[in-house]
Copies of this chain bind each other. A is one copy, B any other.
Amino acid sequence: MTPPAVQLTIVGSIGIDTIETPAEKREEILGGSVSYACAAASFFTHTGMVGVVGSDFPGAFRETWKNMDIDLEGLQTVEGRTFRWSGVYEANMDHRRTLATELNVFERFSPELPESYREAPYLFLGNIHPALQLHVLEQVRDPKFILIDTMDLWINIDRPDLEKVVGKCHMLTLNESEAQLFTGEGSLAKAARSLLALGPQYVLIKKGGNGSMLFSQEEVFLLHAYPLEGFKDPTGAGDTFAGGLMGALAASGRTDKEAIRQAMVYGSIVASFGVEEFSLDRLVRLDRDQIEERVAKFKDMCRI
């Protein structure tokens, strides 16, 4: 029996995180954009991971991914230490401060896609150096839909490459402050218009607990965040949202705007579960029924 074909390829960082919140400190837990995104996508479609870990990477973390049926053929293991990140969240969890970043094996990461990933119709370029994102695009064979994420660092230090790669993607996602930094516009509607001019069909601006906004030339779609009574750790929420979105979109086989709206709802709901606990702790216990139940509850909250 041949394994199912990878429908969605996700490229990004893999980290071992140490995170402190006002309530709790957790050391050396599984993190990184591609870990959160693949976990979220795995509820919907067969997903292939492209990333790098060091020789110290715990077998238990690898097992976590395997148990979620994530395809690990694109995972590189190289001699050395895995990327480490540590940060602390302030009282209201709105802001976080990075305490330490050790790139380690991630410093020389060059994403190489296994043959079986290159035909995948959906691609999510997680937040890595735009030159590496361009390198991924050279390897794929005309995907139906490419989502790209980025961060303030690349906006500040490599805008030319970033603009080049954004222009080759269907959707750009970034958060509110990054959209403002990228464009110099305070108004998100204006910022989106300026980002659409770079070439993508869609710009998805994330506002954390205040939801997200999807802009295209023709229309705007507004999406709330599911209101939680509390959450433990917002790390990776944006990656979980984007991964869930791409997983659900891949599962639909579509790329039209109605399918994107529905996929965003799924991404947002999976992210709402993700932040309830640290790392992938909540996602490993999540099932499709729980997702559907919350989606139905959420849609009722938004009905006008």
Q: A: which residues have CB within 8 A of B?
A: 91-93, 186-190, 193, 207, 210-211, 213, 219-224, 227-230, 261-262, 265, 299-304
Contacts and interface: CB of A to CB of B under 8 A. Distances in A.
Nearest to A229: B189
A229 B190 contact: yes
A140 to B, nearest CB: 30
Given A222-B302, A302-B222, A213 B227 contact: yes
A278 B188 CA distance: 21
A222 B227 contact: yes
10 contacts: A93-B186, A187-B230, A188-B227, A189-B229, A193-B229, A220-B227, A222-B302, A224-B224, A262-B304, A299-B304
A213 B225 CA distance: 11
Contacts of A300: 219
B304 A186 contact: no
B227 A304 contact: no
B219 A301 contact: yes
A263 to B, nearest CB: 11
A299 B187 CA distance: 21
A108 to B, nearest CB: 40
B186 A92 contact: yes
Contacts of A301: 219-222
Nearest to A191: B229
Nearest to A180: B92
B189 A228 contact: yes
Nearest to A207: B210
Contacts of A262: 304
Contacts of A92: 186
A301 B219 CA distance: 7
A228 B222 CA distance: 12
Nearest to A231: B187
A229 B213 CA distance: 13
A102 to B, nearest CB: 32
A224 B205 CA distance: 14
A223 B187 contact: no
